[in-house]
Structure 1
Amino acid sequence: MRDIVEMDLMDYSSEAISSWYSKGELPVLNVIATPYNTPVIFGELIGEVIKKNKKILYITNVEEEDNQLIKYIKSRLNCRSYSYIRKGKEKTSANILFINHEAAMDYKDDVELVIYDDLNGYSTYSRLEIQILLDHLYKYTRSLITYSTERIFCNSPVFEAPTIGGSYPIREPRVLTTRIDLSRDIPYIMYDYLSWFTKINRKVIIYTPNRSATYKVYNYLVSLKDKLKAVVHKLEDERKDKNIEYLMKAKDLSLIVITNCYEDNYKDMRDIDVIVFNADHRTFDNKKLLFFCGKVGLYNKGGQGEVILLANETTDEMDVAKNTARRFNKVAWERGFFSC
């Protein structure tokens, strides 16, 4: 039953996007979806543009080896005419041009379609920064699509794809407030949650606002690792750590990773929970928090996994993230996406 639902959902989204393009009435479309949603919903439209032998500029900060869309166009569209542009001034005859945000600032060639994908992987770019880039590219294209957790252009139509492929609801974050000064100490309630997670062999990622907090939390948990019966690791920069990568994939192992790095460095994780330590710190905007929720949803089956925001007080950014996650789920339920 689920396979049928998955196909219906994909077709529904693909057909809606292709219909907008074929009408040609409005040049910009906002596609709003959950973090880490699939880019394959653009597959049908990309196939149409390729048949016309026209160019597509696809902006993404995901590396080539992790790009789901490349795998799709190779296998389903039988297309090998694509190129990854490292600098915006590079010339290529390929039909699909993949480029990152920074390089796209220098791009000045005409294309049929521009797609800005801010969902397939986490990026630090704000709504305003994306608008500035797309304002630059607008004069070089006939049609433009934004793929984000929020509306990028206000005076343009919106298509909502709150979940694709029959996936589970995005995890709504749980807010825990404490009177303990988190810049100085760590509350016991954090130990309670970690005790439960490690007891059932979960992988826990604790995001901190800075390196100083990473060291503080790490030193605290190292002193408790025998009680927690878990492997405790810290990650201080964006470089991949092979030890953590191995431990993330290990079964029947409790792992706690403390980090102030927010990039998507580790793939194929399973059974993860997220704790955001000092979530009311200015470092944690609603986009980061929402992507943490998406990460838990992506790497868990059956709707499991927790996102805990530990803070001294609830901020507007935390409220926005929580309300956005809740709205995605509400829309998905109303459309019957989780009915089976």
Structure 2
Amino acid sequence: MSIFKLFKDVKEYNKDKDFNQEVITWAKKGYNKNYLNVISVPYNNSVKFLDIILNLISENKKVLYITNEDIKDIYLLKQIRKDTSFRNYCYFRGNCTNIEEKLLVITNYENANLIEEKFFCVIYDDVSCYSDYGVGDIRNLMYKIKAVKYITYSIESILEKGEVIEIPIKKHNIPITEPRIITTKIDINKEIPYMIYDYMKWFVKSRRKVILYAPDRGKADTIYEYLLGLREEISTNTIRYNDKETRKIQKLLRVKDEPLIIVMDSMNNFHMGVNNLDIVVYFADDERYNYKKLTYICGKVGMEGRFSNSEVIFLANNTTIEMEKAKSITRNFNKLAWERGLINI
């Protein structure tokens, strides 16, 4: 019996057929075509690799898929379970004894370092979720694994001398939000710059949801306490995020036409399935904000809708190279998408 079932989301699947065929053709080119960089926007889906993986394993070729998503959130694994009858896979946690018997092995960065098995193809998915691993970390891991073909899925090129395929948009062809950089001379530990204050009032008046993101708990607490003193001027619900109230906050985010301000210091795994969402990154010049983290913050807005009019603001005393690079990456994605006629900016 075929390992394929009917795909439920036919439009999404069909849209990726050209990409699928391009990668499948590359994988069968021969041993002089070993490295492929698939460059895409943050939080793009991984379902486009399903057809590629199934095509390879149908030829009895072993595949290693690396993602830093929590096992319960791995989108590709969910699609395999839902849309195929293929079950010859395992999630490697570092102690799997029958890994050599599986045609598909799924794992994360840390556990991938423990694998000594040889594969035909290894795919590193750095797009589906944010991780702190940089280009050098991922490149070194990939070169360490024994394989014939290597594919990285990232916001930038990772594999040296590898071919490149670019996917500059997510589903519904919405552009990634380019950040607006605002610098100020005032001490943003103590007060809100007038321009940001004006933005906040406009956000509330427009009944939007706003996240104020700080690099650590102390700075987030300071921002929150300052906002509480402005409750009469910025009259809306202001929440200090904590992990225990995630469901409550998610519910408030989905209340239509009700403005909301959330102050938080970590949102790597916080999913924001709303359209009218804006983000202000406080202390964006802090050394803990590298270009990768800032770019993924830009990818957090407009994740669900068919259009995006969201704002991402980098607020800082000085403009850093990391901020400029994040802005350049997002702009280049949109420029490429516009040149290909995928979006209208």
TM over 0.5: yes
8 Å Cα contact 1:229/1:254 also seen in 2: no
Distance 1:266 1:34 in 2: 16
CA drift of 1:308 comes to 0.6
Q: 1:80 to 1:6 in 2, by over 3 A?
A: closer
Distance 1:66 1:271 in 2: 24
Q: How does 1:8-157 map to 2 (within 5 A)?
A: 9-24=15-30, 25-87=32-94, 90-92=97-99, 93-137=101-145, 140-157=146-163
Distance 2:41 2:155 in 1: 6
8 Å Cα contact 1:203/1:254 also seen in 2: yes
SS state of the match for residue 173, structure 2? coil
SS state of the match for residue 296, structure 1? coil
Distance 1:242 1:9 in 2: 33
CA drift of 1:4 comes to 10
Structure 1 unaligned segments of length 5 or more: list them: none
Q: Deviations over 1:182-213 (max 9, x none)?
A: 24433232221111112222221111111111
SS state of the match for residue 325, structure 1? helix
Aligned partner of 1:297 in structure 2 is: 302
Distance 1:225 1:91 in 2: 59
Residue 220 (structure 2) pairs with residue 209 (structure 1): no
SS state of the match for residue 274, structure 1? strand
Moved more, 325-334 or 178-187: 178-187
Q: Which runs of 4+ in 1 moved over 4 A?
A: 3-9
Within the candidate set 256, 270, 279, 2:261 is matched to: 256
Distance 1:244 1:173 in 2: 24
Q: How does 1:145-224 map to 2 (within 5 A)?
A: 145-224=151-230
Distance 2:76 2:293 in 1: 23
Within the candidate set 241, 248, 261, 1:243 is matched to: 248
Name the Cα RMSD after superposition. 2.3
Task: Provide TM-score, normalisation by structure 1.
Answer: 0.91
8 Å Cα contact 2:41/2:127 also seen in 1: yes
Task: Provide TM-score, normalisation by structure 2.
Answer: 0.90
Q: Deviations over 1:295-335 (max 9, x none)?
A: 11314442210001111121111111111111111111111
Residue 341 (structure 2) pairs with residue 333 (structure 1): no
Q: Percent identity over the alignment?
A: 36
Q: Structure 2 counterpart of 1:317, which letter?
A: E
CA drift of 1:79 comes to 2.0
8 Å Cα contact 1:89/1:107 also seen in 2: no
SS state of the match for residue 160, structure 1? strand
Aligned partner of 1:319 in structure 2 is: 324
Aligned partner of 2:312 in structure 1 is: 307
SS state of the match for residue 298, structure 1? coil
Q: Structure 2 counterpart of 1:310, which letter?
A: L
Q: 1:165 to 1:10 in 2, by over 3 A?
A: farther
Distance 1:82 1:239 in 2: 34
Q: Structure 2 counterpart of 1:322, which letter?
A: K
8 Å Cα contact 2:211/2:262 also seen in 1: yes
Distance 1:76 1:243 in 2: 32
Distance 2:47 2:239 in 1: 35
SS state of the match for residue 97, structure 1? strand
CA drift of 1:250 comes to 2.4
Aligned partner of 2:279 in structure 1 is: 274
